[in-house]
Structure 1
Amino acid sequence: MVVKSNKSLFGIFLILILALSYAFLSTKLFLGLSILLIGGFFVLYDIKIGLCGLALAYPFLPDMVNLLAFLVLGFLIFVRKIIYDKEDFKVTKFGLPLFLFFIYSLINTLTSVNIMGSIRDLALNTAGLFFVFAMVNSLEKKEDLNVFVSLLLVGALLAGLVGIRQIFTGVTMRPEWTDVENSQNIAVRVYSVFTNPNIFAEYLVLMIPLGVGLMWQTKNMKKKFAFLFALGVLFLALLMTMSRGGWLGIFCAALVFILVVDKRLLLLGIPAFILLILFLPDSILNRFLSIGSSVDSSILYRLKMYGITFQVIRDNFINGVGFGYIPFKQTFESYIRTMPIYHAHNTFLEIFAEGGLIGITIFLGLVISLIKNAYAYLCKSSDKYIKYLGAGALASIFGILANGMTEHILYMPRIIFSFWILVGIILSLIRIEIKNGGEVSNDILRKETIIPLRENDESI
């Protein structure tokens, strides 16, 4: 926080900077700088405004603006907590997997076959970790987190509406998006603001279960219908991405949510799934039935890619080729020059190739920790809001990991940020549950091992 006089001085300074920027910078840079500076003003007033504003806006902002915003928010909350609030920090069992992931990514960057190439992914994931830190240390009440998640879903709805619009206006179809011989009836694959339908599908797989969790917990019928409308838009957009990996992801997410919330819903889910298939357009149904096809060119291309990736893993088994897609791309193309690729189209193979046995172990440890703690603290909570939003978040994890069997989910900046936002939601919910005195939380909390950095703080 700042006093009024300081706010006034900052406001005058902000206007001067914007005026000079408008005179000397391009329109794109001016808009990006304007968003950062205006956002900075609100962050100084209340950092939760910055967090919630970015949750709404990040799908539509340039990657560089997002990177700076995510880094700055995390840095500001760290400085405020340490210097201004004089609070103390410790690394608990919740934060330890994140800390290990950061250390791994830093070392894997320094030992990379292309250090400068690895710095790109190091910066993006560090920004995501900073944002998790900012979320957990700022969104300390259910009301705060509810506003954050609601605005996150409003942003998703806007992106979904852009995708729906593309169904009617049409988009340019790139040859690599479909198997020309076996998918001739596909007229459009929507991608909204994400440049690629598969990337848009990944984003939707992350967002839809969160929306289902919020819809499930509310007893207000008007809100339920509003959520149903929004989820209908997002689901239709997901269908029209024609992403088989996205469909697989949302199916797994739905299954996990049902198993956690009420297994009896499986009895309704089976006939609903059959009815959905009966009424699907031929283009979508044929695309769905092509999963596992032995003649689909994109599947055959992936299988060949996986085989070469296994060779990369075998030759760099312990510590991999280096953090990020650029070292992998460089190494992969030294094995075959006629197959230019950006990543392995499989998150687990990609991370194994990039980080070796060490990297994949740390990543799986992080994922298992999230799943275990989300289930123990959130899905078992007596608080309906925490339970159902937690179930949605847990379903998102399983959904995006299933999607990660056909795509590398930690490749594009906005999906990297979306993944870390999901992590932040889970850890924020866990902290709120602990503060509310959840029975499971307290039993585990008394037994946990804590590595103190400074004393007397509950930060995750």
Structure 2
Amino acid sequence: MVVESIKKKEAILPIGLGILFSIIYYKLPLNYFAITLLGLVGIILILYDIRIGVYAGIFIFPFMPDMLNLLFMIFMVAVYVYKSLFKKTQPLTKQPIDMPIVFYIIIIIISTITSIDPTGSFRDLAIHLTSIGFVFVIVNSIKTKKDFNILVVFLVISATLVAIYGFYQFKVGVELEDKWVDAVNNPDVKTRIYSVFGNPNIFAEYLIMIIPISLSLFWFSKKIHKKAIFLITSLILILALVLTLSRGGWIGFAFGMFVFVLLIEKRLLLSIIPLGLGAIYFLPQTILNRIASIVNFADSSNDYRIRMWKITLDIIKDHWLVGVGFGHLPFKQTFETYIRTMPTFHAHNTYLETMAEMGVLGFIIFIVFIFTLFKYSIKKLLKGKDNYIKTMAIGVLSGLAAVLAHGAAENILYIPRIIITFWILVGLVLALMRISDELPEIS
């Protein structure tokens, strides 16, 4: 009797789910039913193993609408909190970089409250806090080198698919907006690819963060087929970067590669610099003209940025202590009170933008956060004995260095998917620190 009772109870769940799915199938069109079914299966899998959600989030975020990305990351934080409350989990990681991140969170909250447009500031605050929450999940869910490797492979594969879609745009010849290029100085430029990012400069910001990670996977791989795979992904990503024709992206990439080579094998500098200079002779004229326009102050894009920076400096002088408020909307509103003939969304410079938004104090906290991240990463990860951790840390830090260099010509913390990518790389660094802490001591 007891056995029969247990069997009856065990049958309740599948029967109940069968009835539920039958009702959903009856009420919804087939495509919505399939989406609902996949969503429910995904939720069950994530509740079973939160790493599945982390891998999925890393893979799909470039392709997802911004709101869905934020909702998914909030869901992931909720799942982690649920599992922490009801299941035994490892204690939270603690690193020296934690406090600068905490201070950064505090300052952006304060800057939102004191903003000239708190509602507008909340948009950027929500994106940053949600992204940092996802970092929290990554750091406390990715606990082994195997977990980490799966994560970065998903990241690189996703970026490669994004780049391939960019190649399709190049083939069909997507429309080139006037503001993307000075037609007088670049008459041969007909197409700039942007893939899923809507703007070639933003696409370049994404690519230069991922390329060094792909190169790290290539560098570390011992098996020839893995080396071939990651060489191909690296070349695809680099070619996509070239086709963005983003001058700021190229400069950021060059700086990131300098950091990569300097950290991974500085002796390569002796050969890579001459090879890079020699490659200039084989570049198409379109690319050469675009490179030459970097120092051409008559170029409309360069002239526009210089005028914008001068006005932003005026804003900083008038709001030097606390800034106008966190996020691009308070900056936009303030900027347009200084000049109405130059509508803009940001200052096209991350550091001027940060100071204009959050004042001197916010700028100092941001710089301290970046400095501390690099300082302790180099001290802890690059001087360690584990070659995998060292190699991957070099890739992640080089990606961050590249996008921070690009920040001299663009506001890199403006578009949600770029903000998410930036914080994911910070999460990768922190995850490597935790994994390094838990490795057995080598005597």
TM-score category, normalised to shorter length: over 0.9
Counterpart of 1:186? 189
Correspondence list, 1:307-456, <5 A: 307-437=310-440
Between the aligned partners of 1:280 and 1:22, the Cα distance in structure 2 is 55
The answer to whether the 8 A contact 1:36-1:69 is kept is no
Q: Matched residue of 2:294: which SS?
A: coil
Q: Matched residue of 1:291: which SS?
A: helix
Between the aligned partners of 1:145 and 1:14, the Cα distance in structure 2 is 37
Q: 1:89 to 1:230 in 2, by over 3 A?
A: closer
CA RMSD in angstroms, aligned pairs only: 2.5
Q: Matched residue of 1:290: which SS?
A: helix
Counterpart of 2:199? 196
Q: Matched residue of 2:141: which SS?
A: coil
The answer to whether the 8 A contact 1:36-1:65 is kept is no
The answer to whether the 8 A contact 1:251-1:399 is kept is yes
Q: 1:91 to 1:277 in 2, by over 3 A?
A: same
Q: 1:84 to 1:22 in 2, by over 3 A?
A: same
The answer to whether the 8 A contact 2:349-2:409 is kept is yes
Aligned residue pairs total: 434
The answer to whether the 8 A contact 1:97-1:369 is kept is yes
Between the aligned partners of 2:12 and 2:59, the Cα distance in structure 1 is 28
1:133 aligns with 2:129: no
The answer to whether the 8 A contact 1:191-1:199 is kept is yes
Report how far residue 232 of structure 1 moved: 0.7
Counterpart of 1:452? none
Q: 1:32 to 1:410 in 2, by over 3 A?
A: farther
1:29-77 deviation line (CA, Å, top 9, x unaligned): 9998777654322211111001001111111011111011112212321
Of 176, 180, 186 in structure 2, the residue corresponding to residue 177 of structure 1 is 180
Q: 1:243 to 1:13 in 2, by over 3 A?
A: farther
The answer to whether the 8 A contact 2:115-2:324 is kept is yes
Counterpart of 2:274? 271
Between the aligned partners of 1:353 and 1:61, the Cα distance in structure 2 is 30
Between the aligned partners of 1:137 and 1:241, the Cα distance in structure 2 is 36
Of 197, 220, 233 in structure 2, the residue corresponding to residue 217 of structure 1 is 220
Between the aligned partners of 1:31 and 1:126, the Cα distance in structure 2 is 32
Q: 1:337 to 1:35 in 2, by over 3 A?
A: farther
Q: 1:123 to 1:222 in 2, by over 3 A?
A: same
1:234-290 deviation line (CA, Å, top 9, x unaligned): 100000000001000110010001111111101111222023211111111110111
Counterpart of 1:148? 151
**Structure 2: segments with no counterpart, 5+ residues:** 1-9
Report how far residue 381 of structure 1 moved: 2.0
What amino acid is aligned across from residue 365 of structure 1 in structure 2? V
Report how far residue 7 of structure 1 moved: 8.3
Counterpart of 2:208? 205
The answer to whether the 8 A contact 1:164-1:237 is kept is yes
**Structure 1: segments with no counterpart, 5+ residues:** 440-460
The answer to whether the 8 A contact 1:249-1:399 is kept is yes
Counterpart of 2:308? 305
The answer to whether the 8 A contact 1:260-1:391 is kept is yes
The answer to whether the 8 A contact 2:319-2:356 is kept is yes
1:285 aligns with 2:288: yes
Q: Which moved more, 1:372-381 or 1:8-17?
A: 8-17
Counterpart of 1:106? 109
What amino acid is aligned across from residue 71 of structure 1 in structure 2? I
Counterpart of 1:65? 68
1:82-115 deviation line (CA, Å, top 9, x unaligned): 4432665475423112211111111111111111
1:243 aligns with 2:235: no
1:231 aligns with 2:234: yes
Correspondence list, 1:253-272, <5 A: 253-272=256-275
The answer to whether the 8 A contact 1:71-1:126 is kept is no
Q: Matched residue of 1:262: which SS?
A: helix
Q: Matched residue of 1:137: which SS?
A: helix
The answer to whether the 8 A contact 2:330-2:357 is kept is yes
Q: 1:31 to 1:106 in 2, by over 3 A?
A: farther
Between the aligned partners of 1:254 and 1:438, the Cα distance in structure 2 is 32
Report how far residue 407 of structure 1 moved: 0.6
Q: 1:423 to 1:9 in 2, by over 3 A?
A: farther
Q: Percent identity?
A: 41
The answer to whether the 8 A contact 1:381-1:438 is kept is no
Q: Which moved more, 1:38-47 or 1:361-370?
A: 38-47
Counterpart of 2:3? none
Of 76, 85, 108 in structure 1, the residue corresponding to residue 88 of structure 2 is 85
Report how far residue 21 of structure 1 moved: 8.8
Q: 1:88 to 1:432 in 2, by over 3 A?
A: closer
Counterpart of 2:6? none
Report how far residue 394 of structure 1 moved: 1.1
